[in-house]
Every structure is written in C-alpha cells, then in structure tokens.
Structure 1
Amino acid sequence: MTLYQKLKASGNPQAVAQITISLLESHSVKETAKILGVTPRWVYKLRERFRLSNGDISACIKKRGPKFRMPNRTPEHIENLVVTLAKETNLGSKRLALFIKNTFNIQLSPFTIRNIRRRYGIHCRKHKTLTGSRRFATDFSAFEPLQLWQIDAKHIADQSALPPEAYASIFKNKLPPFQFTAIDIKTRLRFIAYADSLDFKNGLTFMLLVAAWLRAFGVKHQLFFQTDNGAEFGGSAGSRKRKLIQKLIFDHWNVSLLNIPERNKETNCFVERSHRTDDEEFYALNLKKVTSRTSFLKMAQNWILYFNYRRPHFGKNMNGMTPVEALKFYRCFYHPAIGSMPVVVLDQLSNYTSLLFDISSLPWDNLPRNKKLLNETMAHYRHSIFSTSL
C-alpha cells in the first residue's frame, strides 16, 4: 500500500493535501510524487489549487461527483423519507413502494427505492440465510381458491433464526414451543395455532379445526390437506393410522389427505416459506416484548390478522394483493371474517375432540397375528364351561 493510499484510508480528507504541501517545501514535484506513490500531474494539480485558494488546505481536495443534482433525481425530502422508512420497517423495495403509496400518497417505483437504498447502503436485515435448496413449481390453474392447503408444524425456538433476546423470551415466559400452520397456495390465506406437545392428537385437532372453519364459511368444494410424514399428522401415506383417519373421519368431511415425498420439504414450499416470514416479521421483532402467554397469543392473533388482511404479497399471481383481496380477485365472495380464525392452544382444544369423534376407540395399531386364533380359543373355552355347568 502506497503512502497516498494510507493517507486516504486514515479518515482525514485533508491529510493528502497537508502532506503534499509539506513535502513540496523540501522536495521537487517528481520526488514528492514518488514518495506518495502518485503521478506528478496530481502533485501539480494540488499545488495549483493551493496557490489559487491563497493557502487554504480544505480547497485542495474537492468532493467527488457531479457539481449539480441530476434533473430527474428524486427530491431530497422524499429520499430522506425512503431512507427513514427503510430502516424502521425493514421492508423490501416492492412492499415499501406500496406502503408509501398507501400511507403518504406518493407514487414511487420499486426500482427508484432500490437505487436510493443502494446509495445509502441500506439492506434488509435477515436473521436466516438461504439454504440453497431447489424450488418446487405448483400448477395454480389445477386448483380453486381455498382448495389445496399445505399444513406443517414448526418449532418456534430456533436459535439460528431468532435474535438472542427473542429466543430467550420463549423459555422465560413459558410460551408454547410448537406452531401449526395451514396456508392456501392460491390466495395465501393462512391460519395458525400453538401447542405444548407435538403429538398426533394436536395435529388431528388442527386439521379438524381448519376443515370445520372453512365449512362454516360455506366452502363446499373438496379440500386437499398436504402434510409431511410426521407422526403428528398420522405418519406416511401407507401407515395404518393415516388410512384410518382418512376413511373414518375426513372422508365424511370431503377432505383428502396428501403426503409429500420423504426428505422433500420443497414440495411444501408455501408453508415452509411462511415460517421464515414468521421469524423475520413477527418473532424476531415481537417476542422480546412478550410478558406472558396471554400477551403472546394476542400478538399472534394480531399478526395473523395483519397477514391475511393488510400484508401485501408479491408471490406468483399475487401482485401486491392481500389474501382477502385475492379471494375477491378470484370472485370468491365469502364472508370477510374467513381470515380471522382464532389463535388457540391445541392442547386445550383437543380435549373436546372426543365430542366429534371417539378417537380412543379407533383401532390405531395392527392386530396381532394370533388375535383371531386367541378369540376362537376363548370362545370354545367359555362354551365348554357353560355346557358343563348345565
């Protein structure tokens, strides 16, 4: 690194001019240029500026860039507004452009906001890096709105995705560690619930809750619930438990259960991506404000209302619409309250599932191979005893 480069990196904008003028007092222009590691032409230019400014060092180094602002450049007060909102809201360029339009009635292109952010070095703060996994394409035309639902369970205490204070708040306030999520792939309408244990009873209760909520609002077409192969949803497609809940429960609700291929989470891409949205826009910002389980459930309810009614989405075919606006776009005129399903703790609600289905009486496990032989032997034994007593 040359002396000139070290002076530029020192943080003092006048250091180069000061050292150059000092060296010129005892050295020639060429010698000064060699010491600094610059061309003699640059030394001549600094000496001339020093002479014309009557010895003013600050006039020797001029600010880089154009002398006048570009005629089409965004006004300075709007630039300052964009910079302030970008730091406060952590929104991307598209969402920030829509937010400014709706709030301040100022029309800005997302590309203009992108350029302003680049000039000021403002980037969206991310708490979780990309995994690099491949994307999964969905044929949207094959399904109606509110027909294909992706359902998944998430462990919210994820130390790699949350700030330390948000992560610690989960254990400090004894919050439910598991979140169940259902999202419609076409409108992005979304429901969530929480649980203290990741078991089959809670998973079945959540699917029943989503199905009952949709049927109550007049959604009459066939529903598809796509889940992973976790035990909380009955296991793989070939498991006995999965077949029983399909035949004895969901067939009566006109609901078909689908399984994703094992170790292919990208097949459930919509619900998996929504988990990252939860981490970045809800948990990372609000968990540190939680004081109790009750306050947490209220925040979660407000978050899901914001997600369904106010948050713009820019995925495929969304174009900045909210999920409820997307329902209107597809001419699905359900009651507006369809997106406000209460956020509940499934461990408490699952106690009332027996009012609909006697789950404990269903033969979940496979019968032993000698079960039939054992029953026949006991029947013969009882018949023999009864005949002898007579």
Structure 2
Amino acid sequence: MNIIPYHEIRKISPEKARELVRKVFEANNKNVSKTAKILGVSRHTVRRAIYGPLEDKSRKPKTCPRKLSSELENLIIQEAKRTGFRYRRLSLYLFRKYGVKISENTIKSILKRNAVPRKTRKTKKGERSLYDYEALIPFSEFQLDTKHLLDKDSLPKEVYEHIKKYNLPCYEWNMIDVATRTRFTAYSYELSSAFGFMFISLVALWLRTHNVRTPIKIRLDNGEEFCGGSERKLKEWNKMLSFLGVELNPIPPKAKHLMGIIENSHRADDEYFLMIHAERCKTKDEFIQRAQRWQDTWNFFRPHSGKGMNGRTPFEKFIDSKSLVSSHVFQFPTLLLEDILKKVGTFYSLFCNKLGGKYVFTTYLFYLYLSQFFAAAFAATVLYYKGVFKLCQ
C-alpha cells in the first residue's frame, strides 16, 4: 500500500492529513500503534486526528496578563485615526491627555494589526539652511506669523466645535526668535493690521526693556494682518518701528518655506496644546492661563532638536550664549489683544489715526504708557509665576 507521508500532506492541508490518519486507522483494525508506525507519526498525533476536529486548534494563549484591554486598544485606534499620529507621537499624546503610559512598540503593533492608515507628507530634500544658526545672536532674527485656530484642517472636529461653543479666541499671534526658539504669543478674536502693528510693538518694547540692544529683524508673510503686500504700508510701518530699531522683511509670494521655523511651532501647538487643553477651557481666562503655561513650557522646559539647538531648551540655549540680555525676557505674558486695546486705546488711537493722509506720531506718550503697563505686567507675572514654572499638564 503506497501512502504519501503524513507531513507532506499536512503542508498542503491539515484537514486532508487527518482524514488520511482516520482511513489508515480504520484499515488497520483501529490499531493506534500500527497506524502511527505506518504514517511515521506519534500515537498522540493519531489520537488527536481521530478524536479531535479536523481543523488546527488556535494557538492563541488562554491567558495573557500583559495584554492591553480591548477598551484601551480601541482608544489607541480611535486616537490614531482622529489625530493622524504614528506610534511615537501617539505614545506621548496619550500620556499627556489621559495619563496612560504605553510603549511605542505596543502602539506600533496595534496600529499594524488593525491596518490603521498613516498620513504622508511631502518634503523637499537637499535645501540650504535658512540661517547661519551658529553665528546668530539671540533676539536679533525673528519670524512672525498668525494661526487661525478654526482652520478646520489641523485639529479634530470636536476641538473646533468646543472653541466655537465657548467663544474662545480664534487667532494666535506668534513671534519666535530664530537663535534660541523663544516664543512670544498673543491671542485675539479678530485679525486686523491694527492688532498686527500692536503685537509687533508690544514684543519690541518688551525686548528693549530687557536689554536687547541689537537691531531686530522680523521676517513675516504678506498677510492682510501685516502689510498685505503693500510697499507703501511697509515703508510706513518700518518708519514708525525704526524708533525701536525694528525692521520688517516680508517674504516673497509663494515662499512659505522661508517661514519653516514658526510653521513647525504651529504644528507643535496643535499636537501638544490645542488637541489636549482646548477642550478643558470654558472661558477665555482659562484659555489664556493655559496658553501662558504652554508658552512657559515651550521656553523653559521643552527641548528642541532643530538646527543649532542640539536638544536644548530655549532657556538653556540662551544661557549657553552668555548674552547680556535679562533672563526675565522669557516671562513675556500671554495676552488677549482686545484687552490690551481697551487699556491703551486712547494713546494707540492717537498713534495710529490718519490725518490728511499722514500718521500723527505721539511716540513718547504711547511708549511711556506702554512701558508703565509692561512694568506692571512684568511685576504681576513674576509674582504669579515665581516658583510655579512647570510642565503644562
């Protein structure tokens, strides 16, 4: 009797192999030992084929103490689809939002097993650096931009709905120092050139108050909240801001890559601040307070791996530069521009109102008032944050 070996048939089909065992078993008077000898298998294999099912049993462990619960696994999948994060950023995101620490490898396996798609980004390689980062002096080169919090593209839908429901600020104003990555932030409900000029003036005054003596060059886009691509308006702004040693340098049209540093910071805002903390705020005061803590976290505690930073925080980079600028410059208060406009509205209107096509310059009064305001704001900031600087939780 020519019989194909059991193990060769099993490679093709386990069910057919066990059917063969049963046929040989019946042909040999149901003798287990003789059947095992003919097929070249163990008696246990023969008994398994005869008394058990034809299909292979599952090799899944009956108990797995270290396996994540199904609820937690579903949460990982849900947040991965919601945010578009992969395993590394998702691990940090879950820890910050839910306080759950999960290994990157565990998340990677879950995403792979459930075939969660990843978002791809197109990047250009081989481009030259935007600055000579090693030669930059702190607080001499800046990038300035605004972020529309309701852009309906970067954040989950629930966050947008929450911001609208509780009437939280809609626009974020950012100025970032290229050398140290220090950020100065404000918020507003409207986007206008009046707020744009105000924000630049406020940051410039703050820098000059804290012993920044170098010329301040600010790179910005051609948005309507700034000069809007108008050469006349750019000359007027540069003339007015020359009192503070500030020079505005708009980027050419369609050259957004020149603003790469501040654009990356906006992405960090989405991932580490807005996605986590915006839904926890129900008033503008709560939002501004958390925004202040996020700015402090960025400036004092968050390490940066960009060019020239080498894993240091902005404050550490500033200390290593041995600059003569006061370290209190890092305590810039996060502001709501509408509130500031109410406080300095009289002087600001005198400064910005047109009369016969010319601006009326009341520089001394305007700057004197703002200096007094920032002196009070600085004192309040020191008292409030003295010993309280810590990670945004």
Name the TM-score class by shorter chain. 0.5 to 0.7
Indicate the residue corresponding to 1:103 in structure 2. none
Indicate the residue corresponding to 1:24 in structure 2. 20
CA contact (8 A) 1:308 1:339 kept: yes
- CA distance in 2 between counterparts of 1:23 and 1:354 reads 96
Show CA shifts across 1:143-170 (max 9, x none): 3111111000111112221112111011
- C-alpha distance 318-120 of structure 1, shift in aligned 2 (>3 A): farther
Indicate the residue corresponding to 1:195 in structure 2. 188
Show CA shifts across 1:51-105 (max 9, x none): 5989889xx88979xxxxxxxxxxxx9xxxxx99xx79x89869989xx9xxxxx
Match of 2:140 among 140, 144, 147: 147
CA contact (8 A) 2:87 2:107 kept: no
- CA distance in 2 between counterparts of 1:308 and 1:45 reads 72
Aligned length: 303
Indicate the residue corresponding to 2:243 in structure 1. 252
- C-alpha distance 307-343 of structure 1, shift in aligned 2 (>3 A): same
Indicate the residue corresponding to 1:274 in structure 2. 265
CA contact (8 A) 1:127 1:161 kept: no
Identity of matched residues, %: 27
The one-letter amino acid paired with 2:273 is F
The one-letter amino acid paired with 2:335 is V
1:182 aligns with 2:139: no
CA contact (8 A) 1:241 1:365 kept: no
- C-alpha distance 345-362 of structure 1, shift in aligned 2 (>3 A): farther
1:173 aligns with 2:169: no
1:162 aligns with 2:162: no
1:50 aligns with 2:45: yes
- CA distance in 2 between counterparts of 1:202 and 1:127 reads 38
Q: Secondary structure at the match of 1:232?
A: coil
Indicate the residue corresponding to 1:239 in structure 2. 231
- C-alpha distance 149-353 of structure 1, shift in aligned 2 (>3 A): farther
Match of 1:292 among 268, 283, 286: 283
Q: CA deviation at 1:337?
A: 3.1
Q: CA deviation at 1:202?
A: 0.3
Match of 1:315 among 306, 322, 330: 306
Q: CA deviation at 1:319?
A: 2.2
Q: What is the TM-score normalised by the length of structure 1?
A: 0.64
- CA distance in 1 between counterparts of 2:355 and 2:264 reads 35
The one-letter amino acid paired with 1:152 is D
Match of 2:215 among 209, 222, 233: 222
Q: What is the TM-score normalised by the length of structure 2?
A: 0.64
Runs of 5+ consecutive residues of structure 1 not aligned to the other structure: 1-15, 29-43, 65-76, 78-82, 101-112, 367-390
Match of 1:138 among 130, 136, 142: 130
Indicate the residue corresponding to 1:341 in structure 2. 332
Taking only aligned residues, the RMSD between alpha carbons, in angstroms, comes to 4.3
Indicate the residue corresponding to 1:12 in structure 2. none
Indicate the residue corresponding to 2:322 in structure 1. 331
Runs of 5+ consecutive residues of structure 2 not aligned to the other structure: 1-12, 25-38, 61-65, 67-71, 80-84, 96-102, 360-393
The one-letter amino acid paired with 2:275 is A
- C-alpha distance 130-337 of structure 1, shift in aligned 2 (>3 A): farther
Show CA shifts across 1:96-131 (max 9, x none): 89xx9xxxxxxxxxxxx87676566589x9997635
- CA distance in 2 between counterparts of 1:94 and 1:172 reads 28
- CA distance in 1 between counterparts of 2:40 and 2:286 reads 67
CA contact (8 A) 1:136 1:269 kept: no
- C-alpha distance 63-342 of structure 1, shift in aligned 2 (>3 A): same
- CA distance in 2 between counterparts of 1:290 and 1:246 reads 38
CA contact (8 A) 2:88 2:104 kept: yes
CA contact (8 A) 1:133 1:266 kept: no
CA contact (8 A) 2:91 2:104 kept: no
- CA distance in 2 between counterparts of 1:45 and 1:187 reads 74
- CA distance in 1 between counterparts of 2:57 and 2:178 reads 58
Indicate the residue corresponding to 1:302 in structure 2. 293
